[in-house]
Structure 1
């Protein structure tokens, strides 16, 4: 996810923290310390409420991490590659490969909500017991609050709408019942779009009635609509891309430009003569070293063009998506990183043999549509 920073590893999986996480901590810490705790345990100092609110928010962050770690552990046990765990303002996200069976989808999906419910029950029980045994009312109230929040989190995630865990459960059940993975993914994504629209409407109705917390519901709903829409489009693309290899999708020949050229020379000798919107930079040995988009080239001021090298404004090869000609296109697209994305460089023995753009993928989908009408 863009805007996230790597913060070590959890169970061997890279952990990333989005810039919105401090916002999450402050929001829940403020709500807990200024409203919930004073109502539950009155006549305490502001310092006690502030520290307890911050502690509760950090414990909530830890429980979100436990939720995502459960997904990662289950996925690994089922032989699914786990790339990273990211925490952000709306919870967490575990990036992993596509499960190969409906049973794996189901088990990975339910592991997160079950963990949240177990954590919630443990926290709630610990809070009740702490209050009864020692009279430490503030820590007990924090634990009870943590238990309720985790319980709500677990139940909410089981709603039958992708990308929530409940949507994955729906996907697994439809896949198991029909044997059609694409249909299952479309059904789960459709549920996510419907739930998102309902949450947006409910959120705005709440705001109009003076409950400004409804904005949070609207934001969650908007997120569901966007992500579910993307998943539905991907599910509709899958049949057209199945079995297609990179060599079948790529276009060429690829236009190259030496990486030591100045921007001015690149524009005059290469860019103005090409029919492509992307140039591949090559090093002294003729190997690819990066990608240069013509719109990026056009934004460089005229005064910098005689001295600025194209390698200084291009995307390095390490940040580009590359694959071999015999790779399945669907597998390559599933592993795209948000920081790289399209186009995809097709390389053979470290030499570029073609490039795959959004237009190339669209062409494949259109050809598939000519053979078979697109299912809705």
Structure 2
């Protein structure tokens, strides 16, 4: 996830913190200080409430980290590569590869909710024990709140809709029963879209009824709907492009431009006949050196165009998405980088052999779907 910074490692996996995490701490801390704690243990000082509220919010953040860490650790134990764990305002995300089998997918999915339920039960028990045994009412109230929050988190995540963990469980079971991973992914994506719409509607109804928390519920629903839709599209694309190589999708020959000419020379010459919005650049030896985005040239001041070389106005090759002609198309699409969008340079050794664009992918997907459906 963009706009996040790396903050060490957890279970051997890089941990990233999104800029919205402090917002999460403030919101939950404020809710504890302003409403929850005064209702549970009235008559305490503002300082006691403030300290307890901050501690409670931080403990909740740690429990979210434990939830995601359980996913990461279970995935690595089952041979699934885990790239990052990211905490943000709506919880956490664990970026990992695809499970090799339904059993591994099931174990990874249930590990997070089970961890939250375990933390919830332990926190509730500790809170009740502190209150009954030692009379520490404020710490006990924080632990009881933390316990209920984790129980709610665990139960909510078990709802049978992607991208929630319950959707992953349903997906794993369906994959095991049908043997069709993509079909299971599409089904989980559809259920996620429906759940997202339902949460948005309920959130707005609650907000219009005077409950500000309805906005938070609607935001969660919107996130679920967007991610579920993206996952459903990805599953459809994987089905359509399964088994294809980069060479099957690339456009060739490729329209290119020399990287050593100036922006002015390019605008006065090759730009007038260019048929595409992005052109691969070649160096003196004919090797690819970058990708030129023509619309970006309009932002270069006229005075700089006389001396600025194309290679200095383009995206360097190291920041472009590249693959070999024999690479699986599905794997190449997973390596897409945000700077160049859906544009993949196909390179054989050091020679540019083709380029894959969004139009190429769309055309190939439509052809495969037509062949699969057949007449009628």
State whether TM-score is above 0.5: yes
Residue 134 (structure 1) aligns with: 134
Change (3 A) 1:161 1:335: farther
* Alpha-carbon distance in structure 1 between the residues aligned to 2:369 and 2:277: 26
Matched residue, 1:343: 343
Partner of 2:163: 163
Gaps of 5+ in 1: none
Q: SS of the residue aligned with 2:15?
A: strand
Partner residue, 2:276: 276
Cα deviation for residue 317 of structure 1 reads: 2.7
- TM-score, normalising length from structure 1? 0.93
CA contact (8 A) 1:320 1:341 kept: no
Indicate the residue corresponding to 1:151 in structure 2.
Answer: 151
**Over aligned residue pairs, what C-alpha RMSD do you find?**
1.9
Contact 2:75/2:104 (<8 A) preserved: yes
TM-aligned CA distance change 1:150 to 1:27, over 3 Å: same
Change (3 A) 1:12 1:315: farther
Change (3 A) 1:143 1:336: farther
2:102 maps to which residue?
A: 102
Which residue does 1:181 correspond to in 2? 181
CA displacement 1:196-222 (0-9 Å, x = unmatched): 010010011111111111001111111
In the alignment, the residues of structure 2 paired with residue 49 and residue 311 of structure 1 have an alpha-carbon distance, to the nearest angstrom, of 59
20-29 vs 312-321, which deviates more?
Answer: 312-321
| 1:18-57 to 2 correspondences below 5 Å | 18-57=18-57
Q: Structure 1 residues 248 and 266, CA, compared in 2 at 3 Å: closer, same or farther? A: same
8 Å contact kept, 1:2–1:338: no
Matched with 1:222 is 222
Alignment map for 1:318-333 (pairs within 5 Å): 318-333=318-333
The answer on whether the counterparts of 1:2 and 1:339 sit within 8 Å (CA) in structure 2 is no
Shift of 1:194: 0.5
3-state DSSP class of the match of 2:111?
helix
Q: Give runs of aligned pairs for residues 296-375 of structure 1, distance below 5 A.
A: 296-336=296-336, 341-373=341-373
TM-score normalised by structure 2 residue count: 0.93
Secondary structure, aligned partner of 2:373: coil
Report if aligned partners of 1:97, 1:334 keep a CA contact under 8 Å in 2.
Answer: no
**1:8-19 equivalences in 2 (<5 Å):** 8-19=8-19
Shift of the 95–339 alpha-carbon distance from structure 1 to 2, 3 Å rule, reads farther
Cα displacement (A) at 1:83? 1.1
Instruction: Structure 2 unaligned segments of length 5 or more: list them.
Output: none
- The count of residues paired between Structure 1 and Structure 2 equals 374
